[in-house]
A and B are shown apart, each in its own frame.
Chain A
Amino acid sequence: MLAHLAGEIPRFFTPQKLVLLLEAMGTTLLMTAIGCVLGFLLAFGIVFLRQTTGRLALPLRLAAVFYVEIFRRIPFLVVIYLVLFFIQAFVSDASLFAIAVIAICIYSTAYTADIIRGGFESVARQQVEAAAAMNFGRWQTW
Chain B
Amino acid sequence: MVIVPQSWPVILPPAVAFAVGFIKDTALVSQVGVFELTFRGKELNNEGFSGLLVFGTIAFLYFAISYPLSRWGSWLERRLASSPSKRPEQRLRAAHRP
Contact = CB atoms under 8 A, between A and B. Distances in A.
A66 interface: no
A81 B32 contact: yes
Contacts of A31: 26, 29, 34, 36
Contact of A136 (B1, B18, B36, B53): B1
B76 interface: no
Q: How large is the interface on B (under 10, 10 to 19, 20 to 34, 35 or more residues)?
A: 35 or more
Interface string A29-41: 1011101100010
A29 B39 contact: no
A70 interface: no
Nearest to A40: B15
A76 B89 contact: no
Contacts of B33: 96
Given A12-B53, A40-B15, A120-B3, A20 B40 contact: yes
A25 B67 CA distance: 14
A113 to B, nearest CB: 11
Given A40-B15, A115-B15, A128-B2, A27 B36 contact: yes
A141 interface: yes
Given A36-B22, A104-B22, A142 B11 contact: no
Contact of B29 (A100, A120, A123): A100
Contact of B2 (A8, A9, A112, A141): A141
B83 interface: no
Interface string A78-122: 001100100000000000110110011000100110011011101
Contacts of A58: none
Contacts of A21: 37, 40, 57-58, 61
B30 to A, nearest CB: 9
A20 B28 CA distance: 19
Contacts of A9: 53
Interface of B: 1-4, 6-8, 10-11, 14-15, 18-19, 22-23, 25-26, 28-29, 31-37, 39-40, 44, 49-50, 52-54, 57-58, 61-62, 65, 89
